[in-house]
């Protein structure tokens, strides 16, 4: 998470003009997170009413608002999802619009730098590499802006809300559920550096490939050695393939580890629920509700790992773009 914040600090120059919009987005993310968790409470109360044994404070709360009619809970469940969908539609559009606008400004500044410095001959980078940075790398930065704002804020709030509600449901199960979070944090922090390094190597190799192709096409009427150009292209092509394979191999080991840790957390939570059931402190249907809460906890945690991967890749891309010094006034 600390590394992720460093990414946004680097790009804060382009985010600062949109502070008002970001504040509104954050406000609606709180509402969206709350709406996403309400159906679990409604279902829990619905089960208690059918079983005629309301035992939880949340059940008594919803009974006071909705009553004892099961049909009312089905209608409430549907209504919450409709309202949540409307909020999500507006929310997603605003986040995407912000990402495209930031990308547009970053790309424009990078192009101005390339245009100004190409006149005085102070550019030390190959033309193809500059093209890759202005076009491809800026788009990677856009994805890292859109995806976290589109889901990270909601997931953080969902995680906090779910843990709090799970704690009111059962303090023991909430502690068991949270026990895997430090393990995943350490794993994500270790993976960030490796993914960023491998992504940087991959983007550099693609930049070299772009330069070879653009150089040949731009000078197609000039005299050059066919074999030497083929050799140069194949060398960069092989390096690009190797970096892709290294990154693929890393992910093939990383994601199974993340899923295994999450599965362990779910298994421990269900086991704790079963122990409480044997002790007479939990009804059989409560185990299902506990599982649903666990899904709301581990779902955002899985998304955190995806965002960590996305931002580490974008951080490498942003570093390449910032080497063009776009933030300096042209």
pLDDT of 207-257, one tens digit each?
777 777 777 666 654 556 667 777 877 887 888 788 778 878 887 888 788
- Quote the radius of gyration of the chain (alpha carbons, Å): 26
User: What's domain 2-322's superfamily in CATH?
Assistant: ABC transporter type 1, transmembrane domain (1.20.1560.10)
**Res 102 pLDDT > 80:** yes
Percent above pLDDT 70 for the chain? 77
d(CA 45, CA 51): 10
pLDDT reported for residue 217: 64
Mean pLDDT of the chain: 75
pLDDT in tens, 126-162: 777 777 778 778 877 887 777 666 666 677 777 777 7
Task: Evaluate if residue 122 carries a pLDDT over 60.
Answer: no
pLDDT of residue 330: 43
More confident residue, 214 or 172: 172
* CA separation for the pair 187, 290 (Å, rounded): 26
Counting Cβ atoms within 10 Å, is residue 117 exposed (0-12), middle (13-18) or buried (19+)? middle
What confidence score (pLDDT) does residue 329 get? 46
Q: Which candidate, 300, 2, 315, places its Cα nearest to that of 140?
A: 315
* 88 or 18, greater pLDDT: 18
């Amino acid at each position: 998470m600390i590394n992720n914040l460093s990414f946004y600090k680097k790009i804060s120059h382009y985010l600062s003009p949109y502070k008002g919009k970001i504040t509104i987005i954050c406000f609606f993310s709180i509402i969206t997170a709350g709406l996403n968790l309400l159906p679990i409470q409604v279902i829990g109360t619905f089960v208690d009413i059918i079983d005629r044994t309301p035992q939880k404070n949340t059940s008594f709360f919803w009974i006071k608002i909705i009553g004892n009619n099961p049909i009312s809970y089905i209608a409430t469940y549907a209504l919450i999802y409709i309202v949540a969908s409307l909020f999500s539609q507006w929310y997603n559009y605003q986040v995407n619009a912000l990402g495209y606008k930031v990308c547009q400004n970053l790309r424009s500044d990078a192009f101005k730098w390339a245009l100004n410095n190409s006149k005085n001959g102070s550019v030390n980078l190959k033309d193809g590499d500059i093209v890759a940075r202005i076009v491809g790398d800026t788009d990677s930065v856009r994805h890292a802006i859109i995806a976290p704002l589109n889901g990270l804020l909601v997931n953080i709030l969902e995680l906090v809300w779910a843990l709090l509600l799970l704690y009111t449901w059962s303090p023991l199960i909430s502690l068991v559920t949270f026990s895997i979070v430090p393990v995943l944090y350490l794993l994500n922090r270790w993976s960030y550096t490796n993914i960023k390094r491998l992504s940087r190597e991959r983007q550099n190799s693609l930049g070299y490939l772009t330069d070879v192709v653009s150089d040949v096409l731009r000078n197609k009427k000039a005299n050059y050695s066919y074999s030497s150009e083929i050799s140069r292209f194949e060398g960069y092509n092989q390096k690009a393939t190797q970096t892709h394979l290294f990154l693929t191999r890393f992910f093939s080991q990383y994601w199974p580890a993340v899923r295994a840790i999450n599965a362990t957390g779910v298994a421990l939570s269900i086991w704790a629920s079963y122990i409480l059931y044997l002790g007479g402190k939990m009804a059989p249907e409560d185990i299902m509700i506990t599982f649903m809460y666990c899904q709301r906890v581990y779902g955002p945690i899985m998304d955190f790992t995806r965002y960590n991967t996305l931002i580490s890749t974008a951080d490498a891309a942003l570093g390449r773009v910032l080497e063009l010094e776009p933030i300096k006034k042209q």
